[in-house]
Amino acid sequence: METKQIANKKVTFYHYNTVIVGSGAAGMNCAVHLYEFMQRKGIENPQDRIVVVTAGLGLGASRMSGSDKQTYYKMGTSPDVADSAEEFAKSLTAAGCCHGDTALVEAIGSLREFYHLVQAGVAFPTDTSGTFIGYKTDHDPYERATSAGPKTSKFMSESLQKQLERYGVKTIDNQEAAHLLTTGSGDNRRIVGVVTVDKKSCAINVYLAENIVLAAGGPGELYKTTVYPKDQLGIHGLAFKAGLIGANLTESQFGLASIKFRWNVSGTYMQAVPRIFSTDADGKDEKEFLTGFFPSMSKMATNIFLKGYQWPFDPQRIENLQSSLIDVLVFNETQKGRRVYMDFLHNPVGNQAMDEFNIDDLEPEAKEYLQKAGALQKTPIERLAHMNTPAIEIYTENGIDLYSEPLEIAVCAQHNNGGFAVDKWWQSNIRHTFVIGEMAGTHGVKRPGGSALNAGQTGGLRVADYIVNAYGCELPDYSDKKADIEKQLSQLIDRLNSYKSSSGLVAEDVLEEVRSRMTASGGHIREPIDAQKAIRQAVELYKNIQQKGFNAKDNSALITAIQAEHMALTSIAYLKAVVELLKQGSGSRGSHLVLAQDGIEIHPDVIDKAKNKPLKFKPENQSLRNSVLQVEYDESSPDLFKCQTIPLRPAPTDRKAFEPAWKDYREGKIYS
């Protein structure tokens, strides 16, 4: 550690082999593996070579998010259903835009990482023979999903944190990432350090490292209607500025979630088949708004049930009265200024043309599931209590009593399948910089529920393996880059100092504008002309920030200003991808609808609010499934970003015999 005065401000420098930004399940796991690989290699004091820096140990999706039973998707462990890595990879790539090589690596690494978590202490349930019990998620015949309860990812990151503490690896908390220090250009470009501002003291810290691992999660605060936890921002804007390339940014997941306490209402919350109703803005005028759209109670109640494991909003499940019609109808209702609730005290209520709710009348898939689960009680709350008491307790812990009050819900942004482009070692387009967890864009248009957590773990394993065995464990020597580094720090400090001007923008207002625009124009409903207008406004806002700066009077406002600036840039990148994909004639896919005058009408009463006409959507253009849309920061472009479309990388099919493969391994050729 050393300190220096730069632009009249004390700056503290630290030197590590690897700095990891973010302390979620992905970042913590990578740090654990780095220590273990270094130790295995005989490196002295690995704990002094690795550091995790984070805006909040208790923040992020891993610590704060979940659902009825948060899912971890891994290769099947059923004693009687065979699974293979190739089959697993096929499930990951099935809906397109997903590289075969990373999918196969996620499959191959899956069980190794699952057992790594078990060893770290995550209590995944077993039966009397020790089988890790699985269940099915979407399109999954192998029962690959498992869960440690509503808070699986919290338990993962906590267990890994304890492991790191046992190893003596430091996690530096309350560090808001403010800048990524870069040197060189073209193939010689490197990110050499992370600059953070301490959220309490506003001290400036610089973590110089040979290797940088970005694990700061998804851009949750990009959206107004979101189930990401509060204060989960990510560092996408900083990474774009440093030269990292984004991939599949258009592919976010949206779905039904409670909004007073942000939590997914998937799985048993829906399988308990609650009543869903709406009120006016003041909570009055209750209405059974779903009834007009379904021909019978059986159809309506079965679709509510199916939302449980067909959770993400899916445009391919709207027509012919499928389960995603429920998301559309909930959104339609909220667009009218009404509020939508799940009521666990009552069964679904029909209209005059419908029979009363009766479990025996549900379609076979729903009826048999509930029969098998023994969930035939009279009311939804009793069925939920029977199937999953922790799902009720999580709301009690957060001040909501499902036994006495309805749960307000909306269609929320939940996960970004896209992120930053990585190779099969999770290395970004900049050498020595790696991206893992939700920040890495390894998923395609759709992903099986639970595969995000698997991808975060396998990515971290790969990075640690590569760093230790291909790049080595030395500390960096950037003495020849001192002038470059200090120049960037001095510019950053001057900029932060200028954020105290009274004519500057208010950071909270900027964030609010960004979120509203993203939910309206880059969320689960998209339209070409609207998206183009949105990107023009987003660029204008960013340029305004560059000109006027912020009016940040105290430490907390300064942190918000740093966040607002990079979120404003992030929103341009996401909108650029949306506009470009629409230009390519993409249509509705993944978890978003593309509106079109000549598209498919859902129902005369489902209205496009902007046009006050029945909402019509364009079906998916499947020819785009074989490519990935990439987005790169480019100061000279009018939109500040440029796009390119790349073909998919296939999964490797070469299989070597043991001896030559062993030789490659011994000689380190597997890293080349």
Ligand X SMILES: Cc1cc2nc3c(=O)[nH]c(=O)nc-3n(C[C@H](O)[C@H](O)[C@H](O)COP(=O)(O)OP(=O)(O)OC[C@H]3O[C@@H](n4cnc5c(N)ncnc54)[C@H](O)[C@@H]3O)c2cc1C
192 contacts ligand X (rule: CB under 6 A): no
Q: What minimum distance in Å lies between the beta carbon of 259 and ligand X?
A: 11
Least CB distance to ligand X at residue 437 (A): 2
Kindly write down the DSSP assignment for every residue of 135-183, as one continuous string: B--TT-TT--EEESSTTHHHHHHHHHHHHHHHHT-EEE-SEEEEEEEEE
Minimum Å gap between C-beta 362 and ligand X is 25
Does the protein bind ligand X through residue 21 (CB under 6 A)?
Answer: yes
Stretch that binds ligand X, among 55-63, 365-373, 475-483, 619-627 (CB under 6 A): 55-63
DSSP string, 224-268: SSB-SPTT---SHHHHHHHTPPEESTT-EEEEEEETTTTEE--TH
Does residue number 571 form part of the binding site for ligand X (CB under 6 A)? Answer: no
Q: By CB under 6 A, tell whether 176 contacts ligand X.
A: yes
Q: Which stretch binds ligand X (CB under 6 A): 24-32, 78-86, 205-213, 319-327?
A: 24-32
Identified binder of ligand X from the candidate list 15, 35, 50, 60, rule CB under 6 A: 60
Residues 294-323 that bind ligand X (CB under 6 A): none
Interface residue with ligand X among 70, 323, 388, 458 (CB under 6 A) is 70
**CA quadruple 367, 370, 373, 377: dihedral sign:** negative
The answer to whether 109 contacts ligand X (rule: CB under 6 A) is no
Instruction: Please report how close the Cβ of residue 379 comes to ligand X at its closest, in angstroms.
Output: 26
For the chain, how are helix, strand and coil distributed in percent, rounded to 5? 40, 20, 40
Q: Which of 166, 238, 154 is nearest to 195 (CA)?
A: 238
Q: How far is the CB of 397 from ligand X (least distance, A)?
A: 15
Q: What tokens does 98 get?
A: 């997903």
CA atoms of 655 and 416, how far apart (whole Å):
33
Q: Which of 25, 169, 545, 572 binds ligand X (CB under 6 A)?
A: 25
Q: Are strands 204-214 and 9-21 parallel, antiparallel or unpaired?
A: parallel
**One residue of 17, 62, 302, 428 binding ligand X per CB under 6 A:** 62
8 Å CB contact between 20 and 213: yes
Among positions 233, 362, 407, 463, the unique one binding ligand X when judged by CB under 6 A: 233
> Residue 246: which residues within 8 A CB-CB, separation 6 or more?
236, 240, 418, 419, 420, 421, 441, 573, 577, 630, 631, 632
Task: Read off the DSSP letter of residue 126.
Answer: B
354 vs 568, which CB is nearer to ligand X?
568
In whole angstroms, give the CA distance from residue 335 to residue 326: 14
Separation of alpha carbons 228 and 454, rounded Å: 19
Verify binding: residue 217, ligand X, rule CB under 6 A: yes
Cβ-based nearer residue to ligand X, 215 or 629: 215
Residue 414 makes contact with ligand X by CB under 6 A: yes
Looking at this protein, which amino acid is placed at residue 492? L
Sketch the per residue contact string, 128 through 167, with ligand X: x for CB under 6 A, - otherwise. Answer: -------------------------x--------------
Nearer of residues 157 and 279 to ligand X, judged by Cβ: 157
Single residue of 6, 14, 17, 67 touching ligand X by CB under 6 A: 67
Residue 221 within binding range of ligand X, rule CB under 6 A: no
With CB under 6 A as the contact rule, the residue among 19, 27, 256, 441 that binds ligand X is: 27
CB closer to ligand X, 398 vs 623: 398
Chain centroid to Cα 280, Å, comes to 32
* Residue numbers 420-439 binding ligand X by CB under 6 A: 437-438
Based on the shown chain and the rule CB under 6 A, indicate whether residue 406 belongs to the binding site for ligand X: no
Burial 279-289 (b: 16+ CB within 10 A, else e): beeeeeeeebb
Q: Does 448 interact with ligand X (rule: CB under 6 A)?
A: no
What is the Rg, in whole angstroms, of the alpha carbon atoms belonging to the chain? Answer: 25
Which range binds ligand X by CB under 6 A, 1-9, 16-24, 77-85, 527-535? 16-24
Among 17, 18, 71, 252, binds ligand X (CB under 6 A): 71
Closest CB 141 distance from ligand X, rounded Å: 19
Measured from the CB atom, the residue of 447 and 481 that comes closer to ligand X is 447
Q: How far is the CB of 423 from ligand X (least distance, A)?
A: 18
Q: Which string of x and - marks every residue 239-278 that binds ligand X (by CB under 6 A)?
A: ------------------------xx--------------
Pairing outcome for strands 252-258 and 593-601: unpaired
Total residues contacting ligand X by CB under 6 A comes to 44
Question: Alpha-carbon distance 446 to 311, whole Å?
Answer: 12
Shortest Cβ 55–ligand X spacing (Å): 3
Q: Rule CB under 6 A: is residue 568 a binding residue for ligand X?
A: no
Q: Are 60 and 231 in contact (CB under 8 A)?
A: no
Distance set, CA 59 to CA 64, 571, 654 (Å): 6, 21, 42
- Of the two residues 437 and 522, which places its CB atom closer to ligand X in the complex? 437
558: CB partners within 8 A, 6+ apart:
197, 202, 496, 499, 552
Tokens of 544: 């305004």
Q: Choose which of 415, 446, 462, 517 interacts with ligand X (CB under 6 A).
A: 415
Select from 24, 100, 109, 274 the one that contacts ligand X (CB under 6 A).
Answer: 24
Residue type, 470: A
Binding span for ligand X by CB under 6 A among 214-222, 350-358, 521-529, 663-671: 214-222
Q: Taking CA 405 as the corner, what is the angle to CA 401 and CA 408, rounded to the nearest 5 degrees?
A: 105
Residues lying near ligand X in the complex (CB under 6 A): 21-27, 54-56, 59-62, 65-67, 70-71, 153, 175-177, 215-217, 227-228, 232-235, 263-264, 414-415, 437-438, 449-453, 456
